[in-house]
Amino acid sequence: IFNFCAGPAMLPQAVMQKAQQELLNWNDQGVSVMEISHRSKEFIALTQQAESNLRQLMEIPDNYHVLFMHGGGRGQFSAVVNNFLGDNGKALYLVDGSWSKAAVEEAEKLAGKDNIDCINIVDTVAGKRQVSVPDLTKIDKDYRYVHYCPNETVDGIEIFESLNSPWPVIADMSSNILSRKIDVSQFGLIYAGAQKNIGPSGLSIVIVREDMLALPSLTQSSIMDYRLAVANDSMYNTPPTFAWYLAAEVFSWLKSVGGVAEMELRNIEKAKRLYQCIDQLDFYVSGVAPQNRSRMNVTFQLTNSELDSKFLAEAQAAGLVALKGHRMVGGMRASIYNAMPLEGVDALVKFMTDFAAKNA
Ligand code: PLP
């Protein structure tokens, strides 16, 4: 089966097989990794290795902290506000789809609407959605940060260029972290819910520049406080140990297959083959302009939407599962994260080509 689910999503088969073997006896401890103390030297060694591997994979500079926190992607919607918008601070939110909009709603709830400005950066040109970021340097306002989502999982929109911003940039990379090379030094903070390219849901990865921690915070719960997380090596309270273990395994796997540079090449090829199929057959249509087509979440419609259920049923029977688009946008969505092999995309392309021929 090839699993095209948007998240929780397919994880590398080699990692899952190793996890299965180790489930009842991790690291010769005689118990599973879920059953040992997070303060044991064995578990601490695991966390150090995980951090060191992630630092290598993403080339994270030394003035950034790496945190393993609770609460997934949405947890960070509130954490960034709570940690940085004390003393009536203001923030700018760029909206390019459903998740960045959800981040705005959370920010407004916590900081008040007056403290959150918001700009829609998606236009529809000739029936296709595309992103145009305004020149942020021309905005004469003082923001604590600008928040955006470089890959909108639901909408299938990805922003490849970096923001030219006078304020620290905060990015929700839940669905494209580790999928391509990025320059971490351009960000004040990067966060990601783990359940796409990293591991089990519930865990979130936070990469935060040291100077950001000096910004005033709102009164907030201790478990979401970045300063406490830094001071306690992400163990202020009991961390999600199994999720952390699996993330560590995924980082090791990524290194063993050539790191982020190799992943990027594979992801470019996978996305190219799938979008080519969509563009070449009149049967399918993409609503996103080529320059903003996500490499991770390929959204498309059947030109005859009456065939949607048939498409999904036959795809499922062919072992191609979870292709239904998000309930908010409909249509189809093939999520092709790092763990999706090229063969999975080729199988989908063949299925789509045959389905189009049979139903034309
Ligand atoms: N941000 C993005 C880009 C997402 O794709 C998701 C979930 O899929 C979230 C945030 C929310 O993550 P969570 O469900 O872990 O809170």
Whether residues 274 and 133 share a domain: the answer is no
Whether residues 191 and 240 share a domain: the answer is yes
pLDDT at 240: 96
Name the token pair of 5.
């689910």
pLDDT at 136: 97
Name which of 207, 233, 210, 185 is nearest 61 in CA terms: 185
Whether residues 250 and 296 share a domain: the answer is no
Q: Any binding-site annotation on 238?
A: yes
User: What are the per-10-residue average pLDDT scores of the chain (360 residues)?
Assistant: 97 97 96 97 98 98 98 98 97 98 98 98 96 96 98 98 97 98 98 98 98 96 97 97 98 98 98 98 97 98 97 98 93 98 98 96
**Nearest atom within ligand 1 for CA of residue 6:** 8
pLDDT at 154: 97
59 Cβ neighbours under 8 A, 6+ residues apart:
184
Domain count of the chain?
Answer: 2
Whether residues 176 and 33 share a domain: the answer is yes
Gap from CA of 356 to ligand 1 centroid (Å): 32
pLDDT at 360: 86
Whether residues 289 and 210 share a domain: the answer is no
Is position 161 within any domain? yes
Is position 11 within any domain? no
State the catalytic residues.
Answer: 99, 172, 196
Substitution candidate for ligand 1 out of 98, 100, 175, 205 with most atoms within 8 A of CB: 175
Is position 8 within any domain? no
Whether residues 307 and 199 share a domain: the answer is no
Q: Is 149 in the pocket of ligand 1 (CB under 6 A)?
A: yes
Whether residues 30 and 143 share a domain: the answer is yes
Nearest residue (by CA) to ligand 1, atom 10, is 73
Whether residues 184 and 49 share a domain: the answer is yes
Whether residues 176 and 286 share a domain: the answer is no
Whether residues 282 and 223 share a domain: the answer is no
Residues spanned by the domain of 186: 26-256
Is position 19 within any domain? no
338 Cβ neighbours under 8 A, 6+ residues apart:
12, 178, 179, 197, 254, 263, 266, 267
Is position 326 within any domain? yes
Longest pairwise C-alpha distance within the chain: 63
CA distance 292 to 159: 6
pLDDT at 267: 98
3-state helix, strand, coil in the chain (%, to 5): 45, 20, 40
**Nearest atom within ligand 1 for CA of residue 201:** 15
CA distance 8 to 181: 23
Q: Is 155 in the pocket of ligand 1 (CB under 6 A)?
A: no
Whether residues 135 and 61 share a domain: the answer is yes
